[in-house]
Amino acid sequence: MAAIEDILQVEQIETDIYRGGAFPSHLQRTFGGQVAGQALMSATRTVDADHYVHSLHGYFLRPGDPDIPAVFLVDRIRDGRSFVTRRVTGIQHGEAIFTMSASFHVRTDQGYEHQDRMPPVPEPEELTDRLDELGEEERAVFKEWRNFDLRIVPPEKMVTSPYLAAQQRVWFRYRHPLPDDTVFHVGTLAYMSDMTLLGSSRVPHPESNPQVASLDHAMWFMRPFRADDWLLYDQTSPSADGGRALTQGRIFDRQGRMVAAVTQEGLARTGRQMPEDQHARTDR
Active site members: 194, 214, 264
What 3-state class would DSSP assign to 116? coil
Q: How many residues does the chain have?
A: 284
Which DSSP helix (H) or strand (E) runs through 217?
A: strand 211-221
Residues 6 or more apart whose CB falls under 8 angstroms from that of 139 comprise 131
Beta-bridge partners for 216: 59, 265
Do residues 225 and 191 make contact, with C-beta atoms less than 8 angstroms apart?
no
Nearest Cα to Cα of residue 51 among 104, 102, 111, 108? 104
Q: Tell me the angle at which helices 182-192 and 32-44 cross, rounded to the nearest 10 degrees.
A: 150
Question: CA 279 to CA 284: how far, in whole Å?
Answer: 12
**Helix locations, the chain, DSSP H:** 4-7, 32-44, 130-133, 136-142, 182-192
